[in-house]
Amino acid sequence: MKVNFEVCEYNVEKSGKCIICNKQIKIKEKFYQTLNPFNKNKNGETKSREEIYNELKEQVKEWRLKPIIHRKCEK
């Protein structure tokens, strides 16, 4: 049996210059979690949609603060 859970997601992008090669770049990233009975908060309760989106917002804030690097320059 296949069960599909609702996906809560943010698609975000940022642009700027790569800190290694100094070329202009635009990076896209997808942050997501599913709304399901196995996704629990610190209290052991199932996360609400609001809790999930608040966590995703925090992840996006942290990601935006990281320097921009081309994938090929990371290696």
Which tens digit of pLDDT belongs to each residue from 5-50?
999 999 999 999 999 999 999 999 999 999 999 999 999 999 999 9
In which residue are the tokens 């049996």 written? 1
Residue 38 structural domain? 28-75
CA–CA distance, 12 with 73 (Å, rounded to integer): 21
Indicate if the pLDDT at residue 75 is higher than 80: no
Residue 3 lies in a domain: no
**Region 64-69: what's the mean pLDDT?**
92
The whole-number pLDDT of residue 70 equals 87
Indicate if the pLDDT at residue 57 is higher than 90: yes
Residue 53 lies in a domain: yes
Rounded to two decimals, the pTM is 0.82
Residue 16 lies in a domain: no
**Region 54-63: what's the mean pLDDT?**
96
The whole-number pLDDT of residue 27 equals 92
Residue 17 lies in a domain: no
